[in-house]
Structure 1
Amino acid sequence: MTFFDFLDTRSDEMIELGIGHILVVAVSVLIATLLGVALGILAFRIKRLRTAILAITGAFLTIPSFALFVLMLPLVGLGTPPVLIALTMYGLLPIVRNTITGLTGVDPAIVESAQGMGLNARQRLLKIQLPMAWPVIMTGIRVTTIMLVGIAAIGAIVLGPGYGNFIYEGLGRVGTPVAMNLVMAGIIGVVVIAILFDALFSLIGRLTTSKGLR
């Protein structure tokens, strides 16, 4: 059976696994973005917390994926929940770091001018600092997303959704004619999803960033 014949016979499964992969990554990125931006703002405003926040979120990335997925099993069981939690943890550092970098890079003179116009701290943050820092924050979100697309494939070890199921099935059937087709289908699926996510966030970045900051 050729690879294209394999794709034709397993097309329904390819679509189902692709949808599962996209959803688990999208939800993880959304949660990581909300938490990461909030932690980044906190670290920017309270400098004594900055080192601790970066250290903790950075420590998450040092935990091997296999180990973290397995560690989640006694807490949330098999399936999507352990993958979702692990991906969220892995996605925090780039967003937190880029939020801090973006906010720090805003010209203090602009912030002082806004303060002189009567804007309070919350208004300055929402109307001046975050919009100006947004391109840098968006870069962190894009990096996180591409990274999580790859890590999500490992979630198949705990019966998580996505193309990792094809890859693990293929590895478990090494020596059979279908093994390479399974692995290749999984890898190509992951790559295509990564490209689609990157294109999507590139478009979102352009639409949500003012022309003067592009």
Structure 2
Amino acid sequence: MSYEEYLGYFQEGLLRQFGDHLAVVLLSTLLGSIVGVSAGILVRHQPGPREIVLKVAGTMLTIPSLALYAVLIGILGLGWPPVLLALTAYSLLPIIQNTIVGLNSVSAPVLEAARGIGMGDKVRLVRVELPLAWPVILVGIRTAAIILVSTAALGAVVRGPGLGNAIYAGLNSIGSSVALYQVLTGVGGVVVVGLLLNAIFFALARLTIPRGIRD
């Protein structure tokens, strides 16, 4: 079987795996952003809690993916749930770090000016601090998403979604006529997902960051 024949025969399944891979990375990044930005906001001015949160998030990132999946199987079973939870946990550190750095980099004169016109803490956070910190926060979110692209492929060991299934199918059938095709297609698909995410975040930055701040 030629590679063209392989792609033609398995096209539908490969496209589904590609879509699932992109979806699980985006959804995990979204969940991680909600949790990570919220945590960063809460601890940004509290050195003790901030250190604890960063250490916990950093520890999560050092746990080997296969070990974490093995633990989550017993709790959540197979499929999407363990992969989604693991990827969300892995996304937290860069998002929390950049949220803290971004918010703490807002200059004191700007904050004083906001107070001077009567803005309370919550209004100032939403209307002044978060918009100014957003470019840094977005870099953290993008970094998290890129980390998750390759990590998501390992979700195939728990029958999770994504292109890891093509890679593992190829590795488990070494010697067959399509083993190399499966591995190459899976790896190539993961690379394409990464490139697509880069393009998405580039477009998001252009749309959400004012030109004056972006330049």
TM-score bracket for the superposition, by shorter chain length:
over 0.9
> Which stretches in structure 1 are left out of the alignment for 5+ residues?
none
1-structure distance, mates of 2:99, 2:128: 14
1-structure distance, mates of 2:15, 2:180: 19
1-structure distance, mates of 2:33, 2:89: 11
Counterpart amino acid of 1:155?
A: G
Compute the displacement of 1:47 (Å).
2.5
Corresponding residue number in structure 2 for 1:100: 100
Q: Counterparts in 2 of 1:91-170, with a 5 A limit?
A: 91-170=91-170
> Which stretches in structure 2 are left out of the alignment for 5+ residues?
none
Counterpart amino acid of 1:203?
A: A
Corresponding residue number in structure 1 for 2:4: 4
**Equivalent residue of 2:44, what SS?**
helix
Question: In angstroms, what is the RMSD of aligned CA positions?
Answer: 0.9
Compute the displacement of 1:212 (Å).
1.4
Counterpart amino acid of 2:42?
A: L
2-structure distance, mates of 1:41, 1:47: 12
Matched, 1:69 2:69: yes
Corresponding residue number in structure 1 for 2:84: 84
**Equivalent residue of 1:10, what SS?**
helix
Compute the displacement of 1:3 (Å).
2.2
Q: TM-score scaled to structure 2, two decimals?
A: 0.97
Counterpart amino acid of 1:75?
A: I
Q: TM-score scaled to structure 1, two decimals?
A: 0.98
Matched, 1:24 2:9: no
Compute the displacement of 1:25 (Å).
1.1
Compute the displacement of 1:48 (Å).
2.1
Compute the displacement of 1:5 (Å).
2.5
Using the TM superposition, name which of 126-135 and 174-183 deviates more: 174-183
Corresponding residue number in structure 1 for 2:197: 197
**Equivalent residue of 2:160, what SS?**
coil
1-structure distance, mates of 2:180, 2:196: 24
Please list the CA deviations of residues 34-53 of structure 1 after superposition, one character each: whole Å capped at 9, or x if unmatched: 00000111121323211001
Corresponding residue number in structure 2 for 1:46: 46
1-structure distance, mates of 2:167, 2:25: 17
Please list the CA deviations of residues 153-186 of structure 1 after superposition, one character each: whole Å capped at 9, or x if unmatched: 0000000010000000100011222111000010
**Equivalent residue of 2:119, what SS?**
coil
Counterpart amino acid of 2:182?
A: L
1-structure distance, mates of 2:187, 2:206: 29
Please list the CA deviations of residues 64-101 of structure 1 after superposition, one character each: whole Å capped at 9, or x if unmatched: 00000110011110000000000000000000000011
Corresponding pairs, count: 214
Counterpart amino acid of 1:113?
A: A
Please list the CA deviations of residues 107-147 of structure 1 after superposition, one character each: whole Å capped at 9, or x if unmatched: 11101110111101111111111100000000011111111
